[in-house]
Amino acid sequence: DIQMTQSPSSLSASLGDRVTITCQASHDISNYLNWYQQKPGKAPKLLISDASNLETGVPSRFSGSGSGTDFSFTISSLQPEDIATYYCQQYDRFPPRLTFGGGTKVEIK
């Protein structure tokens, strides 16, 4: 049974800071990893698919990397509108299953 460990659970950073969130899978999931942003009272928004593919219209300050078991999500320069909770989500093929990480709440210091 796959486990997704997302860290940290929360962070506080200054505007303009570089912010990094990690997700670790309990076994190899290739690049089957996506990242979402969720603001209060709203549905999640897909930012990055397949570990590093930036979705159309998403600002280039967002990026993702990794493969296998270790993945990271980076905001290169934190902006006020980036205040949100971020989730990773993986796809495990055998048996087919989708799992979300626990989330990271990003706040302004």
Partner 1 sequence: QLQLQESGPGLVKPSETLSLTCKVSGGSISSSSYYWGWIRQPPGKGLEWIGSIYYTGSTYYNPSLKSRVTISVDTSKDQFSLKLNSVTAADTSVYYCARHPARLLAARPFDYWGQGTLVIVSS
Counting residues that bind partner 1 (by CB under 8 A) gives 29
> In the set 10, 39, 46, 107, which binds partner 1 (CB under 8 A)?
46
d(CA 14, CA 79): 9
Contact between 87 and partner 1 per CB under 8 A: yes
89 binds partner 1 (CB under 8 A): yes
- How many Å apart are CA 100 and CA 87, to the nearest integer? 7
* 33 is an interface residue for partner 1 by CB under 8 A: yes
Among 8, 98, 107, 108, binds partner 1 (CB under 8 A): 98
CA distance 108 to 30: 33
Contact 52, 63 (CB under 8 A): yes
Supply the minimum distance, in Å, between the C-beta of residue 23 and partner 1.
Answer: 12
The piece of 18-26, 76-84, 99-107 that touches partner 1 (CB under 8 A) is 99-107
Q: How far is the CB of 24 from partner 1 (least distance, A)?
A: 16
Cβ distance 53 to 106 under 8 Å? no
Out of 21, 51, 84, 106, name the contact with partner 1 by CB under 8 A.
51
Closest CA to 26 of 12, 6, 47: 6
